[in-house]
Amino acid sequence: MNVPKTRRKGAAVTSPAVSSRDLPHPEPAEIRLEAVLHALSDPMRLRIVRELAADGDELSCSYFDLPVTKSTTTHHFRVLRESGVIRQVYRGTAKMNGLRRDDLDGLFPGLLDTLLDAAGRQAARVRDPGDG
Amino acid sequence: MNVPKTRRKGAAVTSPAVSSRDLPHPEPAEIRLEAVLHALSDPMRLRIVRELAADGDELSCSYFDLPVTKSTTTHHFRVLRESGVIRQVYRGTAKMNGLRRDDLDGLFPGLLDTLLDAAGRQAARVRDPGDG
DNA sequence: TTCATTGTACGAGAATCATCGTAGTTTGAC
DNA sequence: GTCAAACTACGATGATTCTCGTACAATGAA
C-alpha cells in the first residue's frame, strides 16, 4: 500500500513497459469448476457471458449496457477473468473481453455450451410464461 | 467427529405412508439456473451432489461424512433443496436426499450430466497432478 | 500541451454466506 | 413412560460479495 500508487507517464521504471498493461489470468490448470460456477451464478455476469457468446468475438467493457455503475461493471469483469471464464486485454483505452472457449472446452468438455443453452432456455421460459 | 454411517439405500418400503413433516420444494418452473449454479459452486455441496449421483438413489444426511458440523450440513442440504437440485423427504428419523434428475433434465437438458462430468474431471486432475 | 474516453483503485455500506455451538424436536425402539 | 439417533432452529461471528461514489490513471486525438 505504500508503493506509489501511480507512475507518471515518463517515469517508467525498469520494466518491459510494453504499451499494454498486463492483466493476471489463471492458467488452465488453475481454473476451478467451483469458481466458474460461482462466476456464472450472478445474473449480471451470466448476462455478460451470454452476450460474449452471442457475439463470438471480443467486446469492450463499454459495449455492455448494464444497469450498474462502471465500478461494479469492472468488478464483474474481474471476477469473470479471475475465475478463468474470460480473457481480457487492453487495446488503446478500451479493454477487450473474450470467452476462454478453448481452455474451458479442454478442461470441461461441453460445459460452456450446455450452460449457455440452459441460460437461453431459462431466458425464453421467463420471457414467455405460459402461452403468450 | 465420527458420524455413524447409517445404511445407505434403505430397503425399499412398500408402504410409503408419508411422514407428517413436509419440506418446501420449488416447482420446476421456479427453479433458477443462477440458484443451481450458486448451489453447486460450494465445494461441500458439489461433493454431496457427486455422491448422490454416484449412488443413484436416495441417501440420508447422516450417510455423508463431511468435515463440517451437523448444523452446517443441514444448511448445505437446505440450499440444495431450495435451489431445486435435490428433493428431501423424511423417513423415520432420517431425511432422505435424492437428485431431481428428471426436473433438472427437463429444464436444462444435459446440464447435470455435464456438470458431474466436469466435477469428475477436475477431481481426477487435482488428484493426479500430471502436467499443466 | 490539453482534452475526452475508457476503465481502475480505493473506501465504504449493506447484504449474503459458511460456519459454529447450544438447545430443542421428532421419530422409533426399549 | 424413557432413551438415543437424526435432524433443526436459533443466534452469533467472521468472511465474502455486490454495490456505490469519488478520485485517478492510461490512451489517443486535437
Residue A72 makes CB contacts below 8 A (sequence gap 6+) with A44, A66
For chain B, which residues lie within 8 Å of any Cβ of chain A, measuring from their own Cβ?
29, 32-35, 37-38, 40-43, 46, 107-111, 114-115, 117-119, 121-122, 125, 131-132
**Alpha-carbon span B48 to B88, nearest angstrom:** 13
pLDDT of residue A127: 80
pLDDT at B65 over 50: yes
Q: Which of A18-22, A41-45, B100-104, B126-130 has the lowest mean pLDDT?
A: A18-22
Strand C: which positions are within 7 A of a protein CB?
Answer: 4-11, 17-22, 26-28
Higher pLDDT, B74 or B11: B74
The verdict on a CB contact (< 8 Å) between A41 and B42 is no
Residue A102 has pLDDT above 90, yes or no: yes
Q: At what angle do helices B33-40 and B70-83 cross, to 10 degrees?
A: 150
A92-96 mean pLDDT: 94
Residues A47-58 have a mean pLDDT of: 95
A74 vs A59: CA distance, rounded Å? 14
Question: What confidence category does residue B20 fall into, taking pLDDT thresholds of 50, 70 and 90?
Answer: low
Contact A33 B42 (CB under 8 A): no
Q: How far apart are CA A56 and CA A51, in angstroms?
A: 8
Phi-psi region of B87 (alpha: psi -120 to 50; beta: other; left: phi over 0): beta
Q: Strand D: list positions under 7 Å from protein Cβ.
A: 4-11, 17-22, 24-28
What is the average per-residue pLDDT within A33-57? 97
Model confidence, pTM: 0.86
Helix (H) or strand (E) holding B99: strand B94-99
Grid cell of B69 as nine digits: 458440523
- Range of lowest pLDDT (A60-74, B10-24, B65-79): B10-24
pLDDT > 70: what percent of chain A? 83
Percent of chain B with pLDDT over 70: 83
pLDDT at residue B131, as a whole number: 54
Q: C-alpha angle A23/A24/A30, rounded to 5°?
A: 155
Q: Which of B41, B118, B125 sits opposite A111 (nearest CB)?
A: B118
pLDDT at A132: 46
Task: Specify the DSSP class assigned to residue B57.
Answer: S
B98 forms beta bridges with B87
Chain A's closest residue to B125, CA to CA, is A29
- Residues of chain A whose beta carbon is less than 8 angstroms from a beta carbon of chain B are 27-29, 32-35, 37-38, 40-43, 46, 107-111, 114-115, 117-119, 121-122, 125
Q: What is residue B96's three-state secondary structure?
A: strand
B51 pLDDT higher than 90: yes
Averaged over A107-130, what is the pLDDT? Answer: 92
* pLDDT greater than 90 at residue B26: yes
Asked if the model's pLDDT at residue B14 lies above 90, the reply is no
Q: A84: exposed, middle or buried (C-beta count within 10 Å: 0-12, 13-18, 19+)?
A: buried
DSSP B8: S
- The number of angstroms, rounded, from the C-alpha of A73 to the middle of its chain's C-alpha atoms is 10
Contact B86, B37 (CB under 8 A): no
Output the pLDDT for position A14.
Answer: 35
Mean per-residue pLDDT, B17-45? 90
